[in-house]
Structure 1
Amino acid sequence: MEISFIGAGNLAWHLAPALENAGHHINEIYSRQLQHARQLVSNLYDARTHSELNFAESPSTLFVLAVPDDALESVCSRLVLPENAIVVHTSGSKSLDSLDQWMAIYSDVPVQTGVFYALQTFSQGQPFMDFDEIPLCIESADKPTEDALVQLGQDISNIVYLITSEERRSLHVAAVFACNFTNHLLALAYDLIAQQDLEFDLLRPLITETFRKGLSASNPADVQTGPARRGDLTTISDHLALLTNQPKLAEIYQIMTTSIQQHPKQ
């Protein structure tokens, strides 16, 4: 498939090379920050940077909107595509209907729309990720487009699902809890022990074992430990006293403790 990317950030950094390695041709990379487009192009076979959102003469049939959610409508309002092109967004939270509506309002030619959502955390500048075990969530109201996107997904991943916008929205919220919030809790733990000049390495074996157990269990709630799960009110009170001068941390501690106490035991 002939493909162009609008956006050269975290996702595009990994997805474009993965598609190219699977035999697809990346023609153009557009980015508001030209240097980002140039960096990505330098890792591709013969892609070129594209300085504007007019793709009317592009040889591509698929256009991947790899831009922040808040920028999607603005990009769509300026995007010019070839007739009958396929345009997909890669958002976990934006619906397919939103993209349909934007293209109906702003596009002067008929296009097909879809969603190509990779459920993973990506960072630009990191070694290219292997997509084999990255879940890809596909959606389109047009059956031929859906089939084309499923095939594209299967070219790079062993895990391809047809998922509705509502299902994907819930999945994205769950992903924020599992990924973003979890990482933030690790950062807070780092800050706490750094206040005592202790090394974060002291926590690494505990973190590793926690994730091992949680991922191997059929339900992570089955392997929950700690004072909240044990009902150890003395320890909880002691911890909250220790956090008296850090009210934000104390609030997070109390919210998490209450959530664990109220969560149904398996």
Structure 2
Amino acid sequence: MEISFIGAGNLAWHLAPALENAGHHINEVFSRQLQSARQLVSNLYDARTHSELNFADSPSRLFILAIPDDTLETVCSRLVLPENAILVHTSGTQSLETLTHQMEIYSDVPVQTGVFYPLQTFTKGQSFMTFEEIPLCIEATDKPTEDELVALGQELSDIVYLITSAERCKLHLAAVFACNFTNHLLTIAHDLTVGDGLEFELLRPLIRETFRKGLDASDPANVQTGPARRGDLTTIDAHLLLLNTQPEFANIYELMTDSIRHRFHK
């Protein structure tokens, strides 16, 4: 398939090479930051940067919006596509209806719309990720477009699901808890150890075992441990005393502790 990217950030950095490795051709990459587009193009076979959002003469069939959610309408309002192109966004929260509605408003030609959402965390500049075990969530406004997107997804991943916008939004919410909040808690653990001259490395075996148990369990609640799980108020009070000069961390500790205690000690 002939493909163009609109956006050259974290997701595009990994998805574009994966599509090329699956035998597809990336024609163009547009980014508001030209240097980002150039960096991505330098990792592709013969793609070129595209300086504007007018793709009327593009040979591409599929256009992938790999952009921040809050720029979707601005980009769509300026986007010009070939007739009957497929336009997909990669957002966890934006609905398909939103994209479809915007193209109905702004596009002078018929465009098929869909969603191609990889459920994974991506970081630009890191080694290219393979997509075999990354879930791909697909949605489209019509069956032929859905079939094309599913076929494309199956060339990349062994895990391809048809998921509605409402289901995808709930999945993205769960992903924020599982990924973003978890990483923030690791960041706090890093600050607490390094801030007192301790080695964060000491926590790595514990972190690995925690994730192993949680992923292996049918329900992570079954392997919950710690003072909140035990109802150990003495230890909890001691921890809060240690955090008396760090009220932001203390608030998070109390919130997490109360949530765990509510689950196990109703």
What's the TM-score once normalised by structure 1's chain length?
A: 0.98
Which position in structure 1 is the counterpart of 2:72? 72
User: Cα distance, 1:264 vs. partner?
Assistant: 5.3
Which position in structure 1 is the counterpart of 2:84? 84
Q: Give deviations 1:176-208, integer Å, cap 9, x for gaps.
A: 000000000000011111221001001111101
User: Cα distance, 1:245 vs. partner?
Assistant: 1.3
Which position in structure 1 is the counterpart of 2:186? 186
4+ long deviations beyond 3 Å: none
Q: Give deviations 1:201-223, integer Å, cap 9, x for gaps.
A: 01111101100100110111000
CA contact (8 A) 2:95 2:165 kept: yes
Q: Which amino acid aligns with 1:102?
A: Q
C-alpha separation in 2, matches of 1:244 and 1:35: 45
Which position in structure 2 is the counterpart of 1:225? 225
Which position in structure 2 is the counterpart of 1:256? 256
Which position in structure 1 is the counterpart of 2:146? 146
C-alpha separation in 2, matches of 1:79 and 1:189: 44
C-alpha separation in 2, matches of 1:17 and 1:105: 32
C-alpha separation in 2, matches of 1:89 and 1:166: 15
Which position in structure 1 is the counterpart of 2:216? 216
User: Cα distance, 1:261 vs. partner?
Assistant: 1.0
Can you give the 5+ residue segments of structure 2 that lack an aligned partner in the other structure?
Answer: none
Q: Which amino acid aligns with 1:256?
A: M
Q: Equivalent residue of 1:45, what SS?
A: coil
Q: Equivalent residue of 1:49, what SS?
A: strand
Q: Equivalent residue of 2:185, what SS?
A: helix
Q: Equivalent residue of 2:218, what SS?
A: coil
Matches within 5 A, 1:1-266: 1-263=1-263
Q: Equivalent residue of 1:263, what SS?
A: helix
CA contact (8 A) 2:229 2:261 kept: yes
Q: Which amino acid aligns with 2:44?
A: L
C-alpha separation in 2, matches of 1:264 and 1:202: 29
CA contact (8 A) 2:115 2:139 kept: yes
Q: Equivalent residue of 2:197, what SS?
A: coil
User: Cα distance, 1:27 vs. partner?
Assistant: 0.5
C-alpha separation in 1, matches of 2:238 and 2:49: 58
C-alpha separation in 2, matches of 1:45 and 1:186: 38
Q: Which amino acid aligns with 1:133?
A: E
Q: Which amino acid aligns with 1:73?
A: E
C-alpha separation in 2, matches of 1:235 and 1:50: 59
Q: Which amino acid aligns with 2:62?
A: L
C-alpha separation in 2, matches of 1:214 and 1:41: 39
C-alpha separation in 2, matches of 1:189 and 1:18: 34
C-alpha separation in 2, matches of 1:23 and 1:264: 51
- Please report the RMSD computed on the Cα atoms of aligned residues, expressed in angstroms: 0.8
User: Cα distance, 1:39 vs. partner?
Assistant: 0.9
What's the TM-score once normalised by structure 2's chain length?
A: 0.98
Same amino acid, percent of matched pairs:
76
Q: Which amino acid aligns with 1:231?
A: G
C-alpha separation in 1, matches of 2:189 and 2:55: 48
User: Cα distance, 1:244 vs. partner?
Assistant: 1.1
